């Protein structure tokens, strides 16, 4: 809260949630896992 | 109405009046002492004169008379001397500012102005502390960003790696390849059906 | 100068005192003794005057040395000479140390204020540059997120 009074207060206050960003990438990778499972099954079926 | 002459005391290290008092007491003491010596010398000389009709008390009276006379003149003359010395020698004229007080004319700050200045300084100190903390916060975020960027770039590299693997294995376009494979397997299934029907 | 004036005033005092305590006056006070021993009376008087003058002059020298008066008088003469163009009455202590100390403190406070203003400006500039880097970093992270999302969508 004190940062708002400083020269770059707004920038500091608008800091993104980097932890959340990294957690989202975890979701991306889980999604990709599903995609590849599907692909694998499809290829087996086609074989 | 007595002028304490404090400014002069600041300069000289003593008040002019103290100095004059010292001189007065010393001069008076010397006058008395010298007269005492005169008195005792005359009495001694008298003792040496045989059949002297002058009594010691007479000499004493003469000494007192002369001393009284001298003291009167001493007081008058000393008063004049003191006046001259206090006015012309041991004084600092009204228009004169001592060197150590030059700051009073250069920086004529009232109590209120000084307080305002001190408050301003306090505020600046607080601002600086806040800016220093803000700087630390910004640098901490930069460090955090480095770590996050590294992670994201790793994931991106992984995706690029996938694309490279596909290319290495001759699959430039997964969608097309799957469409082709699906079509072919459908064709094969139809061919099989055809063959089964024709063989029956 | 003050030193010379001081000596002159003291000498004048002494001369007038001696003149007042003349031999005639001395002899008239010790009339009977004078009649008895005129030469002795004269001798005693001369010694009295000589002793008195010597003691007073010695005392004055002592006072001058103790108080370093010669140096102080010359210094004051110089200060007075430098201030001769100043017509207005100069500042004098108010008698309230709190009030007077303010002006003595003022130059140091002003210096301190200037110093704080300077380092604050420097710190703000430093932070401005750091904030620029932070914004650039955020932009890059957003870009990476978008690229990853695009890849993911493409695979999906």
Residue C6: predicted pLDDT: 95
* d(C-alpha B162, C-alpha A43), whole Å: 17
Share of chain A above pLDDT 70, in %: 96
Domain interval for residue A24: 16-47
Residue B109: predicted pLDDT: 83
Q: What is residue B49's DSSP assignment?
A: S
Residue B108: predicted pLDDT: 80
Residue B141: predicted pLDDT: 98
* d(C-alpha C64, C-alpha B42), whole Å: 35
Distant-in-sequence, close-in-space partners of B178: CB < 8 Å, separation ≥ 6? A42, A46
Residue B1: predicted pLDDT: 62
The shortest C-alpha distance from C115 to chain A (Å) reads: 19
Residue B110: predicted pLDDT: 81
pLDDT in tens, B137-146: 999 999 999 9
Residues B174 and B102 in one domain: no
Evaluate whether residue B184 is within a structural domain. Answer: yes
Query: What are the C-alpha distances in Å from B35 to residues A6, A47, B38, B78, C10?
Result: 86, 147, 5, 18, 21
CB contact under 8 A, B152 and A25: yes
**Residue C143 is encoded by which pair of tokens?**
């870009």
A7 touches C at CB < 8 Å: yes
Evaluate whether residue A6 is within a structural domain. Answer: no
Are B56 and C19 in contact by the 8 Å Cβ rule? The answer is no
pLDDT in tens, B158-175: 999 998 998 898 887 878
Task: Write down the ipTM of this complex.
Answer: 0.66
Span between the terminal Cα atoms of chain A, in Å: 62
* Chain B residues with CB-CB distance to C148 below 8 A: 152, 155-156, 159
* d(C-alpha B165, C-alpha B169), whole Å: 6
Evaluate whether residue A36 is within a structural domain. Answer: yes
**Residue B61 is encoded by which pair of tokens?**
């009276």
Evaluate whether residue B144 is within a structural domain. Answer: no
Evaluate whether residue B133 is within a structural domain. Answer: no
Are B128 and C123 in contact by the 8 Å Cβ rule? The answer is yes
Please list the ranges in chain B whose pLDDT falls under 50: none
Evaluate whether residue B141 is within a structural domain. Answer: no
Domain interval for residue B53: 6-106
Are C17 and B73 in contact by the 8 Å Cβ rule? The answer is yes
Give the end of a domain, one of B106, B126, B150.
B106
Three-point CA angle B163, B166, B172, nearest 5°: 90
* d(C-alpha C154, C-alpha C156), whole Å: 5
Chains with at least 3 CB pairs less than 8 angstroms from chain B? A, C
Neighbouring CB atoms inside 10 A of B22's CB total: 16
C133 touches A at CB < 8 Å: no
Residues B102 and B182 in one domain: no
DSSP per residue over B134-155, as a string? HHHHHHHHHHHHHHHHHHHHHH
Evaluate whether residue B16 is within a structural domain. Answer: yes
Distant-in-sequence, close-in-space partners of C52: CB < 8 Å, separation ≥ 6? B30, B31, B34, C17, C18
Confidence of residue A1 (pLDDT cuts 50, 70, 90): low
Q: How many domains does chain A have?
A: 1
pLDDT in tens, C91-137: 999 888 877 888 888 889 999 999 999 999 999 999 999 999 999 99
- Supply the mean pLDDT for chain A: 91
C-alpha B147: how far from chain center = 45
* Chain B residues with CB-CB distance to A7 below 8 A: 131, 134
Chains with at least 3 CB pairs less than 8 angstroms from chain C? A, B
Evaluate whether residue A2 is within a structural domain. Answer: no
Q: How many domains does chain B have?
A: 2
Are C141 and B149 in contact by the 8 Å Cβ rule? The answer is yes
Evaluate whether residue B178 is within a structural domain. Answer: yes
Give the end of a domain, one of B52, B76, B106.
B106
Q: Is the pLDDT of residue A2 over 80?
A: no
Evaluate whether residue A37 is within a structural domain. Answer: yes
CB contact under 8 A, A8 and B155: no
Residues B11 and B100 in one domain: yes
Confidence of residue C53 (pLDDT cuts 50, 70, 90): very high
Give the end of a domain, one of B51, B77, B106.
B106
Evaluate whether residue A1 is within a structural domain. Answer: no
- Supply the mean pLDDT for chain C: 94
């Amino acid at each position: 809260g004190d940062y708002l009074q400083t020269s770059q207060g707004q920038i500091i206050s608008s800091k993104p949630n980097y932890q959340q960003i990294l957690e989202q990438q975890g979701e991306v990778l889980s999604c990709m896992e599903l995609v590849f499972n599907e692909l694998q099954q499809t290829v087996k079926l086609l074989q | 109405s007595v002028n304490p002459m404090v400014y002069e005391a600041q300069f000289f290290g003593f008040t002019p009046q103290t100095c004059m008092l010292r001189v007065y007491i010393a001069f008076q003491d010397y006058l008395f002492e010298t007269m005492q010596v005169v008195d005792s010398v005359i009495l001694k000389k008298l003792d040496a004169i045989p059949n002297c009709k002058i009594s010691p008390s007479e000499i004493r009276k003469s000494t007192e008379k002369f001393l009284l006379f001298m003291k009167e003149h001493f007081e008058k003359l000393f008063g004049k001397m003191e006046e001259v010395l206090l006015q012309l020698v041991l004084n600092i004229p009204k228009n004169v500012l001592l060197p150590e007080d030059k700051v009073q004319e250069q920086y004529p700050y009232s109590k209120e102005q000084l307080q305002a200045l001190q408050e301003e300084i306090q505020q600046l100190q607080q601002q600086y502390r806040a800016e220093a903390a803000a700087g630390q916060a910004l640098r901490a975020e930069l460090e955090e960003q480095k770590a996050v960027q590294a992670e994201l770039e790793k994931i991106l590299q992984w995706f690029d790696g996938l694309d490279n693997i596909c290319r290495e294995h001759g699959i430039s376009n997964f969608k097309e390849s799957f469409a082709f494979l699906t079509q072919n397997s459908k064709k094969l299934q139809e061919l099989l059906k055809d063959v089964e029907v024709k063989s029956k | 100068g003050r030193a010379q004036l001081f000596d002159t005033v003291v000498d004048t005092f002494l001369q007038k005192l001696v003149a007042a305590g003349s031999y005639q006056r001395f002899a008239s006070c010790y009339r009977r003794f004078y009649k008895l021993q005129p030469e002795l009376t004269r001798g005693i008087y001369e010694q009295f005057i000589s002793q008195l003058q010597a003691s007073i002059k010695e005392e004055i020298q002592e006072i001058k040395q103790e108080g370093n008066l010669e140096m102080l008088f010359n210094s004051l003469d110089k200060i007075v000479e430098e201030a001769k163009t100043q017509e207005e009455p100069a500042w004098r202590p108010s008698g309230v140390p709190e009030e007077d100390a303010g002006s003595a403190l003022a130059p140091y406070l002003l210096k301190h204020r200037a110093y704080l203003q300077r380092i604050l400006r420097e710190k703000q500039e430093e932070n401005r540059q750091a904030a620029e880097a932070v914004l650039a970093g955020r932009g890059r992270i957003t870009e990476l997120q978008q690229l990853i999302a695009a890849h993911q969508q493409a695979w999906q």
